Every structure is written in structure tokens, then in C-alpha cells.
Amino acid sequence: MKSILSKPSEGASGLTGMWRIKRPIMDTDKCNMCMLCWLYCPEGTITKRAGGKPRIVYEYCKGCGICAEVCPSKAIIMLRREKGAVDR
């Protein structure tokens, strides 16, 4: 019988980064690697780089801004995109 089960996949609802109106920008020099941004990201779009510092996956980041709020060293700022521009 042909299976009609859904298969796990990134972007099950498309490139959700397109929803974003503010882009998180991380200053890795300020980052103290506490990983609270990773812990609190609802989407799981923050991953660890080789050096242990976090990296934001912009394809799927919805720009909620929780990472910037919870960052104790204020290493993340939220940059509003320009009117009409598409933030990818």
C-alpha cells in the first residue's frame, strides 16, 4: 500500500523567513556564548557554529525578536527592513 504519511522536513510551511519584518543581527564579538538565544528561539533557527558561537538561519527566522530580548550582553539588535524591500 502506498504510504500517505507526511515526512519530516525543514520548511514544512515554506521559507518562513519571508514573514520577517525585523532582522536579528548578531555581534559575535559581544556574544558570551551563554546560548540563551538558542534555548529560547521558538523556531529552532539558531544553531551553534564551530567555535561555539550561535548562528541565525535566516531562511526560516520569523523575526520575532525573542533572541534580542533574552540576550544578557545585548549582542543582538533587530533591524527593521526598508519599506517594500524583501528581507531574505
Partner 1 sequence: MSSVLTIKDLTEEEFTLPGNAACPGCAAALSLRIALKVLGPKTIMIVPASCISVIQGYYPKTPCRVPVLNVAFASTAAAGSGAVAALELKGKSGVKVLCWAGDGGTADIGLQALSGAAERNENMIYVCYDNEAYMNTGTQRSGATPRAAFTTTTVTGKLERKKSVPEIMIAHRIPYVATACAAFPLDFASKLKRAESMPVRGLKYIHLLSPCPPGWRFPAEKTVEVGKLAVMTGMWILYEWYDGGYNLTGPSKALLEKSRRRPLKDYLSIQGRFGHLKEEDLESLQRDVDEHWEEFSKKLGIRA
Residues that bind partner 1 (CB under 8 A): 4, 6-16, 19-20, 34-36, 39-45, 47-48, 57, 59-66, 68-70, 78
What's the CA gap between 70 and 40, in Å, rounded? 8
Question: Residue 17 has what DSSP assignment?
Answer: G
Closer residue to partner 1 (CB): 42 or 84: 42
Compute the least distance from the CB of residue 14 to partner 1, in Å: 7
What's the CA gap between 31 and 14, in Å, rounded? 30
Compute the least distance from the CB of residue 27 to partner 1, in Å: 18
Compute the least distance from the CB of residue 30 to partner 1, in Å: 18
- Tracing cell 550561535 back to the chain, one arrives at 54
